[in-house]
Amino acid sequence: MENKLAFTVPDHCDGMTALTFLKKQCGVSTRMITHLKREKDGILRNGTLLKTIDILKTGDRVVLKIPKDNSSIVSVKGKLDIVYEDDYILAVNKPPQMPVHPTKVHQLNTLANTVAFYTQSKGETYTFRAVNRLDKDTSGIVLIAKNAYTASILNKSVSKVYYCVCSGIITEKLTVSKPIAIKEGHTIQRTVTADGKPAVTHIEPVKIGDDYTLLRVILETGRTHQIRCHLSSIGHPLLGDDMYGGSLDKINRQALHCKTVTFIHPITKNTVELKTPLPDDFKRIID
């Protein structure tokens, strides 16, 4: 795995200090810069040591040594549905019933455990950094950054499209804009309440059945359980989502899938779009 980042100074950055260039142009955090300053050959310009107070010139090649990190997560052999991978990013299609991170209840059957085994089998070691997190029973794409820099940049550029199956019929596009907070007396469940955090969900019907609707959903905000809570609040809970009033007759988990993820690659600056098919339990409902 690549352990260096390289940047070429563009015309508009001529005369900048190295510190300004790294922070403003490249998006490198102050914490990482501080760490690199302590590393041997942590920051180089054209092959020689670069100080953060040095002035850069157009065409200079600045190379950073990515700090090595190790995962403390127990590796467990399992199957990974890999959607995309390069030296900086791993994207997998997470199945339902699998938590993303280990918890007290789930310590060995998580996506993080399976990824740890996969990376070690390739001779790689890095901290598991899930850029987007899905509930245990939500399926779909999870982006994993292979270093801290990639994670920090991806957090600013990722957009997601979800597909879900709700109860009842929705025939037109609509936007739900209702604040969300933790439900009183609960630690996980959310509810719509006037004193909650702002939350906006854009909904578009894709296929209408006898008593359900397949929806395409885009989040303007990213609150916990936002799609589940918002659809329940308008009388259309997700099928299988008994926490929010959904029926278990057709599916035994919330019918929610992260189908498409788009992001600006932190290194190449190219736009990357990843897509996954609808899972089998969705198809059994809509087919």
Catalytic residues: 135
Give the three-class secondary structure for 61.
Answer: strand
Number of H helices, E strands in the chain: 6, 16
Which of helix, strand or coil describes residue 196? Answer: coil
CB-side exposure of 219: number of CA atoms within 13 Å?
23
Strand 271-275 and strand 159-167: the pairing is: unpaired
Tokens 């979800």 belong to: 162
Closest to 150 measured CA to CA, from 121, 134, 130: 130
CA atoms within 13 A on the CB side of 116: 20
Query: In the structure encoding, which two tokens stand for residue 30, read together?
Result: 């102050």
Residues recorded for the chain: 287
- Asked if residue 261 lies in contact with residue 142, where contact means CB atoms within 8 angstroms, the answer is no
Exposed / middle / buried, residue 194 (Cβ in 10 Å: 0-12, 13-18, 19+) = exposed
Q: What's the distance, CA 159 to chain centroid? A: 9
CA 14 to the chain's CA centroid = 34
Closest CA to 96 of 129, 134, 128, 144: 134
